[in-house]
Amino acid sequence: MEFAYHRSLAPMIGVLLGIAIVEMLVVHLVVVAWLGWWAALVAGVLDASLVIALIGLIRSFRRLPVTLADGVLTMRAGWLKSVTMPVAQIAGLRASWDAAAIKQRGVLNLALASWPNVVVDLHPPLATRRGGQLHAVAHKLDDPVAFHAAIAALSRSDGH
């Protein structure tokens, strides 16, 4: 099963892209006037690489959906971040949460610049590469109801 998130995340990252383009133009003009063309060229290359990276990130949202297959849930935020968890480690889905809960250490927020509409609790927590513990993953999915139904169906079939 695949769960899309590009319609939820792409507009917010698109706004960030627009701001980056405006900033790039303004900074380019200031740098040209103040430091000359060579410095403006270096700043332009750095800014252009940021714009290209943001465009690539937005395009990867559609290519890399959240997947639920073969007893594994893979939650992604494009090419930026991905976490894979066995379905057996899903303790449940939160019904509500606040900003403090999302900002806690051990909560991975894949919603990026948006407010998450799905929070998956894990038990036992997943070990991270840096030695930490990941006990919840938050995301902003296009169809959270379908995601909740799929997780509920898995829980029923496992006898939980």
Residue 37: its pLDDT value, please? Answer: 85
Residue 46: its pLDDT value, please? Answer: 87
Residue 150: its pLDDT value, please? Answer: 92
Residue 78: its pLDDT value, please? Answer: 94
Residue 24: its pLDDT value, please? Answer: 86
Residue 47: its pLDDT value, please? Answer: 85
Q: Tokens 């799905």 appear where?
A: 118
CA distance 17 to 55: 8
The upper half-sphere exposure of residue 91, i.e. CA atoms within 13 Å in the direction of its Cβ, equals 13
CA distance 10 to 57: 9
CA distance 100 to 136: 13
Residue 157: its pLDDT value, please? Answer: 60
CA nearest to 5, candidates 62, 73, 82, 67: 62
CA distance 33 to 92: 57
Instruction: Please identify every stretch of the chain with a pLDDT value under 70, giving residue numbers as ranges.
Output: 155-160
CA distance 9 to 12: 6
Residue 86: its pLDDT value, please? Answer: 93
Residue 115: its pLDDT value, please? Answer: 93
The upper half-sphere exposure of residue 129, i.e. CA atoms within 13 Å in the direction of its Cβ, equals 4
* Beta bridge pairs of residue 45: none
Residue 153: its pLDDT value, please? Answer: 87
Residue 44: its pLDDT value, please? Answer: 84
CA distance 71 to 60: 24
